[in-house]
């Protein structure tokens, strides 16, 4: 622990103020034509927090931001605990959805790779594409990639890139996506709730939050099924990543790269830094 000198109470105090302020503003729904977008306290809190931590203002030190990221993990534990407590009383209901729960997990893998890899290759990524598209690239996935390819590999660079984008605007993007998919009327709220369990705390919180606002009557079901899907992912997710999605992405890369990969050799691929 190198964060001993960080005054975490300052962080907690800012969060307390942000929570009080944003909960006071409350939820708003905006119709943007193609669907309803739900604006709610956690999104204001994210944006205001991002504003406060904007490096130019120098209100927060880098160490404090790292401490905030650590506390974020702990705050997600309470959220997870609440989701578990929602499942307990209705355990039998869970048994009836076992097959769907397993298959949504398959959907999470197929989705990142099937949609991500071809597009990554089409716009000119090389081996970066493997790291970038084999999973949602949160902390455990980064660890898997670094372990296998090394921190300075193109694969790790791709994974880190998606990781950074996820941290910066994943939650906002997920909440918009959840709002649009939810108000499109194509999907049942329960399916969407399972889809929302993407394996990232802040993205999942934002997506389930949007769904709960769009479908107020199904709020309990949304918490139930996203909680169950998240539990499923946290139990088998790492193994699926190591034994299924990474080898699958590598194989598809070998096959697809010569077909749709860009020919030019000297494309600038983002940061030269390592993890």
Partner 1 sequence: MNQVLTILLIGVIALVGNWIGYHVPPTESLPGILLLALITLIGMGFTRILPFKSPVIVWISLFAMIATSPFFPGNAFTAAAIGKINLLALATPILAYAGLSLGKDIHLFKQLSWRIVVVSLVVFTGTFLFATLFAEAIFKIQGKF
Q: Which of residues 39-98 bind partner 1 (CB under 8 A)?
A: 40-43, 45-55, 60, 62, 64-66, 68-69, 71-72, 74-89, 91, 96-97
| Contact status: 19 vs partner 1 (CB under 8 A) | yes
129 is a site residue for partner 1 (CB under 8 A)? yes
Query: Residues 226, 232, 234, CA angle at the centre, nearest 5°?
Result: 100
| Nearer to partner 1 (CB atom), residue 65 or residue 148 | 65
Compute the least distance from the CB of residue 52 to partner 1, in Å: 6
Window contacting partner 1 (CB under 8 A); options: 29-37, 143-151, 228-236, 248-256: 228-236
- The correct pick among 6, 37, 108, 156 for binding partner 1 (CB under 8 A) is 108
Is there binding between residue 271 and partner 1 (CB under 8 A)? yes
Interaction of residue 161 with partner 1, rule CB under 8 A: yes
Give min distance, CB of 150 to partner 1, in A. 19
Q: Does 270 bind partner 1 (CB under 8 A)?
A: yes
Q: Which of 175, 148, 151 is nearest to 163 (CA)?
A: 151
Kindly indicate which of the ranges 28-36, 132-140, 147-155, 248-256 contains the residues binding partner 1, using the contact rule CB under 8 A. Answer: 132-140
23 forms part of the interface with partner 1 (CB under 8 A):
yes
Q: Cβ 67 to partner 1, closest distance in Å?
A: 8
Tokens 């959220």 found at: 79
Q: How far is Cα 49 from Cα 47, in angstroms, rounded to an integer?
A: 5
Stretch that binds partner 1, among 29-37, 145-153, 156-164, 251-259 (CB under 8 A): 156-164
The DSSP bridge partners found for residue 31 are 36
Smallest gap, in angstroms, from Cβ of residue 175 to partner 1?
9
Q: Is 106 in the site for partner 1 (CB under 8 A)?
A: yes
What is the spatial distance between Cα 117 and Cα 135, in angstroms, rounded to a whole number?
Answer: 11
Cβ nearer to partner 1, comparing 21 with 30: 21
């Amino acid at each position: 622990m190198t964060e001993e000198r960080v005054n975490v109470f300052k962080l907690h105090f800012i969060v307390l103020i942000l929570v009080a302020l944003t909960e006071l503003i409350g939820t708003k729904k905006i119709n943007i034509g193609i669907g309803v977008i739900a604006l709610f306290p956690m999104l204001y809190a994210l944006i205001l927090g991002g504003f406060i931590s904007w490096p130019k203002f120098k209100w927060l030190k880098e160490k404090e931001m790292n401490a905030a990221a650590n506390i974020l993990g702990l705050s997600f534990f309470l959220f997870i605990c609440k989701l578990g407590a929602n499942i307990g009383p209705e355990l039998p209901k869970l048994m009836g959805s076992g097959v769907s729960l397993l298959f949504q997990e398959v959907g999470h893998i197929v989705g990142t790779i099937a949609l991500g890899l071809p597009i990554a290759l089409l716009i000119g990524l090389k081996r970066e594409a493997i790291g970038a598209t084999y999973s949602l690239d949160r902390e455990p996935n980064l660890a898997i990639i670094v372990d296998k390819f090394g921190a300075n590999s193109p694969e790790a660079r791709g994974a880190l890139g998606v990781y950074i984008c996820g941290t910066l605007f994943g939650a906002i993007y997920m909440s918009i996506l959840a709002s649009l998919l939810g108000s499109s009327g194509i999907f049942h709220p329960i399916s969407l709730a399972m889809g929302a369990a993407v394996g990232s705390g802040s993205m999942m919180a934002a997506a389930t939050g949007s769904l709960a606002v769009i479908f107020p009557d199904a709020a309990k079901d949304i918490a139930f099924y996203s909680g169950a899907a998240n539990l499923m992912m946290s139990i088998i997710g790492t193994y699926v990543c190591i034994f299924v999605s990474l080898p699958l992405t590598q194989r598809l890369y070998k096959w697809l790269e010569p077909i749709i990969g860009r020919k030019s050799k000297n494309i600038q691929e983002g940061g030269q830094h390592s993890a």
